[in-house]
Copies of this chain bind each other. A is one copy, B any other.
Amino acid sequence: MATAHTPHPYYPLDLVLDHYVPNTYSMKDTLTLLFSTFGAITIGSIALSYPKRHSTIKGLGNQLTFLWFVMCGFIHLFLEGYFSVHHATLAGDQHPLAQVWKEYSLSDSRYLSSDSFVLIMESITAFAWGPLAFFAAKTMYYNTPARHVAQLILSLGQIYGCVLYYLTTMVEGSPHCDPHPYYYYFYFAFFNIFWIVVPTILMHNSQGCSRR
């Protein structure tokens, strides 16, 4: 029996999202908003770390690590936190953060269908790893002994979450992703791979402290 459902651009094509309302922002608007915010966080992070440039945040590696923690804190707590809190109504939501998620969901509709794994993993990321990322930035700023444990826990949590995130849909043949390479390789693959690559480097660095 065929029933008329609200049309939407997401995959799989038979996904029912009757509360879907199209974004008022264009893709370009959404990406401009997102990357402008990332730019502002980067400038703020550099300004914040500037007084420590000769002590605890010395050299490019440390400055990038500090920026990473601050950026992760904002992305986890606010962007992923917004999803965690508003997931049930996200497909019909026009808040700027909701529009970012509706654009991203072209590469993964599990964000609009409240997939149980994505919901729980993102909630842990938002409300455990988010504050821990800010804490890691703070331990670095003040060079406190908790630095490497915080970095190790945060990084392993991010890697495990991201590996599960990729593989839980890939094992099914990525049915939740628009197969266009722009969405699959840029949104789904590229936007997330940072949370495997950077934490792997940081974990490697943290493990060095146990051999000292």
Contact = CB atoms under 8 A, between A and B. Distances in A.
Interface of A: 116-117, 119-121, 124, 145-146, 148-149, 152-153, 156-157, 160-161, 163-164, 167-169, 171-172, 206-207, 209-211
A114 to B, nearest CB: 9
Contact of A149 (B124, B145, B210): B210
10 contacts: A116-B117, A116-B168, A116-B172, A117-B117, A120-B163, A120-B164, A120-B167, A145-B210, A146-B211, A152-B152
Contacts of A172: 116
A200 to B, nearest CB: 12
Nearest to A116: B168
A171 to B, nearest CB: 5
Given A152-B153, A164-B121, A164-B124, A146 B210 contact: yes
A210 B148 contact: yes
Given A152-B149, A152-B153, A156-B156, A120 B207 contact: no
